[in-house]
Chains A and B, each alone.
Chain A
Amino acid sequence: MSKKLLLKNAHIEGIRNFDTYREHGGYQSVEKALKMTPDQIVEEVKTSGLRGRGGAGFPTGMKWSFLAKPEGVPRYLVVNADESEPGTFKDRYLMEHIPHLLIEGMIIASYALGSNTSYIYIRGEYAWIPDILEQAIDEAKKAGFLGKNILGSGFDLEIYVQRGAGAYICGEETALLESLEGKRGNPRLKPPFPAVKGLWQSPTVVNNVETIAAVVPIIDITGAEYAKIGLGRSTGTKLISACGNINKPGVYEIDMTITVEEFIYSDEYCGGIPNGKKLKACIPGGSSVPIVPANLLLKTAAGEPRYMNYESLSDGGFATGTMMGSGGFIVLDEDQCVVKHTMTLAHFYNHESCGQCTPCREGTGWMYKILKKIESGQGEMKDIDLLWDIQRKIEGNTICPLGDAAAWPVAAAICHFRDEFEWHINNPECLTRNYGIAHYADPLPVVEKQ
């Protein structure tokens, strides 16, 4: 049984409300934090080893310590609740079920960073969640945990919720800031990093929802105790959103000591594959991370069990490993067609490319067209090599990581499942799926950027 830090009270009825949250220990970490200095909090987070839970896994305490502190210039904390990575729905769960955990974490983080105005940027489609967050903010304010002179500490803080309007790219921190400034979500060139010039050119820290929520237990139990949970540099707990062909899709909190096999097959987590089907492959960290076939998923390059943590999942590099990413765990059973799955993801990245960089703008649409051609039985062998060339020319050649995110699924699919691509080209029917070719009688269009 994994230790629960974030979801330990998630099952309690009414935990969404302030009074119930408070009855179960809520806001005690704020009381504790406000008796510490901001620097002490940053040190505590550094000691915890907390890594950003949005996907990149960058050490949070270090990110906070990079924040520039020029005199007379406001600083901002912006919570990234854009969550648009296919396979990832954990932040939604936190905000829907335990909104005060996020608000409490934001108060502590804002105090540590010296932010008196903080924002939650939430994806526009989560249209009902801002009401939940705003109610939590109102409740916290009435109880004296927000507003002027919080708990007599002299610290002032206002939190506002801003809805986006449907753009995956706004999960990238600089695109998010552009959007928050009322512009198109076009990523900015870095440097300067947001820690120096962020929101309205002021020093800004952008953190994921889960990252900020994790600050609450860190202050509660101390960074040193938090660091003892987990394995190696994968400290603390991690939310995993599991989906695809599994018996029990949902959001799970793990302490990163369990194996991938245990996560997929045990009743405590995914409960195995429906109808006794075999595991074919998995994307363990959200759609942008490389797909891994079952044999490489369950064992590391050295033949050891693979664990659900940052290091073990990336063991062996790209050829065999993948990444923890955002924790969006997508399982494919033996009936699934990798070509079709890759095609749908390629369409996603084509749709979501902001269009700013040529390799991404042109390459994502081109990859989708070729994949559609192969998937519909019209492909040629040379198309596989062309796909490989295109993804190579996108990766690393764009302003933001969306280019990599679009390239990796294609590269990994070719790398691990080339035989399926070849089968699609040589045979009139799909190798795996039980429905006919060209099932998309009305295929999704390639998106031309404006």
Chain B
Amino acid sequence: MSETIAFKPETLEKVKQIIARYPEGKQKSALIPVLHLAQKEFGGWLDVPVMDYVASVLEITPIEVYEVATFYTMFNMQPVGKYVLEVCVTGPCMLRGSDDIVNHIKERLGIKAGETTADGLFTLKPAECLGACGYAPMMQLGKFYHENLTKEKVDEILDLCRQGQIAID
């Protein structure tokens, strides 16, 4: 495990607060919330040293962290761009044109689904149902949803990202 990996003191404080939500000895329950914190703090993805560090913080074995991190789609096991464009492609979004939105993003960015632009700014990640079916088509960008998308709206979002003027957290 790398010696340099460590949560900021304020994050460690947050970890302690999360652990306190559960009965004594059940600190493993904090794993998913702590992995969210780790992913955010350590570059947007979870590499092995980060997962090992999380295991040490929660006093569980590394394999317990690996098996959870690889199960949930929100944890990135590979490096991703600064902006991860998660476009919902499930039935209700498909009925309202999510294919067009995905194809438009591919054309604009010159990448395929799952790829990251050469400048490391964007990753395109088709997603399964994100619970915004009534406001389709949509995509998730960081913490927020962008709904009722059109190609023009997508272009506007991409421009705002390039200018660093869009909230993701």
Q: Footprint of B on A, CB under 8 Å?
A: 74, 83-89, 92, 119, 123-128, 160, 162-168, 179-185, 200, 241-245, 249-251, 283, 287, 328, 330, 332, 336, 340-341, 344-345, 347-348, 351-352, 354, 439-442, 444, 450
Contacts and interface: CB of A to CB of B under 8 A. Distances in A.
A182 B29 contact: yes
Given A182-B31, A249-B134, A86 B26 contact: no
B21 to A, nearest CB: 4
B143 A345 contact: no
Given A181-B28, A243-B133, A86 B74 contact: no
B33 A162 contact: yes
Given A127-B143, A183-B68, A242 B134 contact: yes
Contacts of A340: 94
A126 B128 contact: no
Contacts of A89: 131-134
Given A182-B68, A442-B113, A330 B133 contact: yes
A181 B92 contact: no
Contacts of B72: 124, 164-167, 185
27 contacts: A86-B90, A88-B133, A123-B131, A124-B72, A125-B127, A128-B143, A165-B73, A165-B75, A181-B29, A183-B67, A183-B68, A184-B68, A200-B26, A243-B92, A243-B134, A244-B133, A249-B136, A251-B134, A341-B91, A341-B94, A341-B95, A344-B94, A345-B91, A347-B128, A351-B128, A354-B71, A442-B112
Nearest to A159: B21
A147 B126 CA distance: 42
Q: Considering residues A165, A184, A450, which has the most beta carbons from chain B within 10 angstroms of its beta carbon?
A: A165
Given A165-B35, A166-B74, A84 B94 contact: no
Interface of B: 21, 23, 26, 28-33, 35-36, 58, 60, 64, 67-68, 70-75, 89-92, 94-96, 99, 103, 106, 112-113, 126-136, 140, 142-144
Given A89-B132, A125-B74, A162-B33, 5 more contacts: A181-B28, A249-B133, A348-B91, A440-B99, A444-B126
Nearest to A127: B143
B134 A85 contact: no
A86 B95 contact: no
Contacts of A352: 128
Contact of B90 (A160, A348, A440): A348
A366 B40 CA distance: 36
Contacts of B126: 444
A164 B95 contact: no
Contact of B91 (A84, A87, A200, A250): A87
Given A168-B129, A182-B31, A344-B94, A249 B135 contact: yes
Contact of A86 (B29, B75, B92, B113): B92
Instruction: List the 9 closest pairs (A to B, CB-CB), nearest first.
Output: A165-B72, A182-B31, A249-B134, A166-B73, A166-B74, A182-B28, A243-B133, A184-B71, A86-B129
B117 to A, nearest CB: 16
Contacts of B130: 125
Nearest to A244: B95
A287 B91 contact: yes
A450 B91 contact: no
A84 B133 CA distance: 11
Contacts of B35: 165
Contact of B92 (A200, A330, A439): A330
Contact of B131 (A92, A162, A182, A200): A92
Contacts of B128: 86, 168, 347-348, 351-352
Nearest to A158: B21
Contacts of B94: 340-341, 344
B134 A442 contact: no
Contact of B67 (A128, A160, A184, A336): A184
A119 B133 CA distance: 26
Nearest to B99: A439
Contacts of A347: 128
Contact of B36 (A124, A180, A348): A124
Contacts of A242: 134
A328 B73 CA distance: 23
A92 B132 CA distance: 9
Contacts of B135: 249
A185 B128 CA distance: 17
Contacts of A341: 91, 94-95
Nearest to A128: B143
B32 A162 contact: yes
B134 A250 contact: yes
A218 to B, nearest CB: 26
Contacts of B132: 89, 92
A159 to B, nearest CB: 10
Given A88-B131, A164-B72, A344 B26 contact: no
Contacts of B26: 181, 200
A86 B73 contact: no
A35 B106 CA distance: 60
A198 B64 CA distance: 20
Contacts of A165: 32, 35-36, 72-75
Contact of A241 (B113, B133, B143): B133
Contacts of A168: 128-129
A285 to B, nearest CB: 13
A244 B71 contact: no
B113 A444 contact: yes
A84 B131 contact: yes
